[in-house]
Chain A
Amino acid sequence: MWARYALRLISLCLGLACWASPAWSQTRFIIIASTTSTEQSGLFAHLLPLFEKASGIKARVVALGTGQALDLARRGDADVVFVHDPDAEERFVTEGHGVKRLQVMYNDFVLVGPQSDPARARGKDVLEALRRIAAARLPFVSRGDRSGTHAAELRYWGLAGIDLAREKGTWYRDTGSGMGPALNTAVSMNAYILADRGTWLSFRNRGELGILVEGDTRLFNQYGVILVNSARHPHVKQTEGQAFIDWLVSPAGQQAIAAYKVGGKQLFFPNAAK
């Protein structure tokens, strides 16, 4: 009787597995590990249908911080990575996990903070702004999640000559969360925060916050794309992944990136090497 029960249980599992996996019927797809900024700004929702139309390949995006996205690919769980931390990307390729890094597009970071600007951070110089925030000990929200934006933030603190390990106090709030959640936190604390422009422009819950520093050349934010190395991870869908990358840096893909606008503003600027 228990053997019969076990048999029924197994067939139930198999039945459920087939039922719950409409995914199995679609054969041609790739998995892209990417960042929250590209997903949440709506760029992928704009690009992927165009790519699918051109190639017949579906792309599934898993949106994480840059550090996490690269780690996911290091375990072989993605075919393509599309992120924004050039140093970490180069390391990924040198370690042999990626084939080659290609630059795709850029936008920029902006320093966001309370419109009343108690630290008087407003201006054109991000380093000076950070020094003033630190000196005034006013709340600053950090991503703290090894994302591309977090890496950039740490770089700016370093360039500003501020030793965070020593200066860090209750004013520096390390939230360990994505761009959106970190912005929500910053809004509720009326804090300063470094954000990528794409996420900021498409972010709805802005509260009292606004852009204080922008246009500093150091705020440049480069996105790159890498095919995961199939020599290292044999099941990687090389042909399909390469097709996505080729399309992304082709005139058609580059135009599609330039054409994406939120509220009439262009979010990302294509700059693939010709």
Chain B
Amino acid sequence: MSEIAQSLTLASELIATGDNRLAAIVGLSLQVSLSATLLSCALGIPLGALLAVGRFPGRHALIILFNGLMGLPPVVVGLLVYLLLSRAGPLGELGLLFTPTAMVIAQTVLVMPIIAALTLQVIEDEWHEYREQLRSLGASRLRAGRTLIWNARFSLTTAGLAGFGRAIAEVGAVMIVGGNIDGVTRVMTTTIALETSKGDLPLALALGAILITVVLLVNAVAFFLRQWAEKRWG
């Protein structure tokens, strides 16, 4: 118990002193995970909408696939992306292994299915509600998909946040493809893992508290942005 109290004090001290190295690590965490979330939204939202309104062979299989991929273990994703980006792998020439870009790729693979599956759910509900209306207007399915995405844009922020939560919290994938290199690919979660390895449990826990704080802040920003936007354009 005293360890938890000790780590909370340590966490507030770290935040108060504005430690430069810690700030850089937090910054990289945000940069990598926000990039991955943005990319996943760009890919996953249209894909989810397509699965919701489209009718084509293999659609059910794809839906099951994306729902299943939500449970993809980060270590497996890390390993897959590592094998792709390794010098001995098919994309080795790019020299991306152990860079933040590699981490963005891995997290995108991890997060995209979550966004696609959640979008599918949201848009499918919308589709049931507005199908007749859209049909009577003579909208094609593609057109309808686009309209419904726009319609559901506020609900879809939850999908984005869920994806971001997954990205910023995972350690297995970024550890493998990033290598936890000091000052280059070291993020919050890999730092926590490292400090745990060193047996510095209070510091590890303090970093965990800071990570949660950062995630809460991101969510708060998203919440108020959404409220503001809904008032303005909703």
B-binding residues in A (CB < 8 A): 1-2, 5, 9, 12-13, 16-17, 19-24, 31, 36, 40, 44-45, 60-63, 75-77, 178-181, 183-184, 187, 202-206, 233, 235
Contact B198 A203 (CB under 8 A): yes
Q: Which single residue of chain A is at the shortest CB-CB distance from B31?
A: A20
Contact A235 B95 (CB under 8 A): yes
Given contact pairs A19-B31, A31-B98, A180 touches B88 in the complex (Cβ within 8 A): no
A-binding residues in B (CB < 8 A): 31-32, 35, 38-39, 42-43, 46, 86-89, 92, 95, 97-101, 103-104, 142, 146, 179-182, 184, 194, 196-201
Measured between beta carbons, the chain B residues less than 8 angstroms from A203 are: 198-199
Given contact pairs A22-B100, A60-B184, A61-B182, A40 touches B198 in the complex (Cβ within 8 A): yes
Report how far A2 CA is from B47 CA in the complex, Å: 12
Measured between beta carbons, the chain A residues less than 8 angstroms from B92 are: 76
Contact B87 A204 (CB under 8 A): no
Contact A61 B181 (CB under 8 A): yes
Report how far A170 CA is from B119 CA in the complex, Å: 48
10 interchain pairs, CB-CB under 8 A: A16-B104, A60-B181, A60-B184, A61-B181, A77-B86, A180-B196, A180-B197, A202-B198, A204-B199, A205-B201
Report how far A45 CA is from B99 CA in the complex, Å: 20
Q: Which single residue of chain B is at the shortest CB-CB distance from A9?
A: B42
Measured between beta carbons, the chain B residues less than 8 angstroms from A20 are: 31-32, 35, 100-101, 103-104
Measured between beta carbons, the chain A residues less than 8 angstroms from B46 are: 5
Measured between beta carbons, the chain A residues less than 8 angstroms from B31 are: 19-20
Given contact pairs A76-B87, A235-B87, A178 touches B197 in the complex (Cβ within 8 A): yes
Q: Specify which of A180, A181, A233 lies most central, judged by the most chain B CB atoms within 10 Å of its CB.
A: A180
Q: Which single residue of chain A is at the shortest CB-CB distance from B200?
A: A204
Contact A23 B100 (CB under 8 A): yes
Give the distance to chain A from B131, nearest Cβ to Cβ, in Å. 21
- 13 additional A-B pairs beyond A23-B184, A36-B197, beta carbons within 8 Å, are A16-B38, A20-B104, A21-B101, A40-B198, A62-B180, A77-B87, A179-B197, A181-B196, A184-B199, A204-B199, A204-B201, A206-B199, A233-B87
Measured between beta carbons, the chain B residues less than 8 angstroms from A75 are: 86-89
Measured between beta carbons, the chain B residues less than 8 angstroms from A19 are: 31, 35
Interface residue from B38, B103, B142, B201 paired with A2 (Cβ < 8 Å): B142
Measured between beta carbons, the chain A residues less than 8 angstroms from B97 are: 77
Given contact pairs A20-B101, A179-B197, A205-B199, A60 touches B179 in the complex (Cβ within 8 A): yes
Report how far A75 CA is from B84 CA in the complex, Å: 12
Measured between beta carbons, the chain B residues less than 8 angstroms from A2 are: 142
Interface residue from A9, A24, A77, A181 paired with B197 (Cβ < 8 Å): A181
Report how far A61 CA is from B38 CA in the complex, Å: 29
Report how far A178 CA is from B103 CA in the complex, Å: 22
Report how far A202 CA is from B184 CA in the complex, Å: 23
Contact B197 A17 (CB under 8 A): no
Measured between beta carbons, the chain A residues less than 8 angstroms from B95 are: 235
Give the distance to chain B from A184, nearest Cβ to Cβ, in Å. 6
6 closest residue pairs by CB, A with B = A180-B197, A205-B199, A76-B87, A62-B179, A204-B199, A75-B88
Contact A45 B43 (CB under 8 A): no
Report how far A181 CA is from B194 CA in the complex, Å: 9
Given contact pairs A20-B101, A180-B198, A12 touches B184 in the complex (Cβ within 8 A): no
Measured between beta carbons, the chain B residues less than 8 angstroms from A1 are: 142, 146
Report how far A1 CA is from B97 CA in the complex, Å: 34
Give the distance to chain B from A237, nearest Cβ to Cβ, in Å. 11
Measured between beta carbons, the chain B residues less than 8 angstroms from A178 are: 197
Contact B180 A63 (CB under 8 A): yes
Report how far A40 CA is from B184 CA in the complex, Å: 17
Report how far A36 CA is from B199 CA in the complex, Å: 13
Report how far A1 CA is from B184 CA in the complex, Å: 39
Contact B101 A17 (CB under 8 A): yes
Given contact pairs A21-B99, A77-B86, A13 touches B199 in the complex (Cβ within 8 A): no
Report how far A89 CA is from B38 CA in the complex, Å: 44
Report how far A77 CA is from B99 CA in the complex, Å: 12
Given contact pairs A16-B38, A20-B35, A76-B92, A60 touches B201 in the complex (Cβ within 8 A): no
Report how far A226 CA is from B86 CA in the complex, Å: 20
Give the distance to chain B from A116, nearest Cβ to Cβ, in Å. 20
Measured between beta carbons, the chain B residues less than 8 angstroms from A183 are: 199
Measured between beta carbons, the chain B residues less than 8 angstroms from A202 are: 198
Measured between beta carbons, the chain B residues less than 8 angstroms from A77 are: 86-88, 97-98
Report how far A163 CA is from B232 CA in the complex, Å: 75
Report how far A104 CA is from B104 CA in the complex, Å: 37
Contact A21 B197 (CB under 8 A): no
Q: Which single residue of chain A is at the shortest CB-CB distance from B146?
A: A1
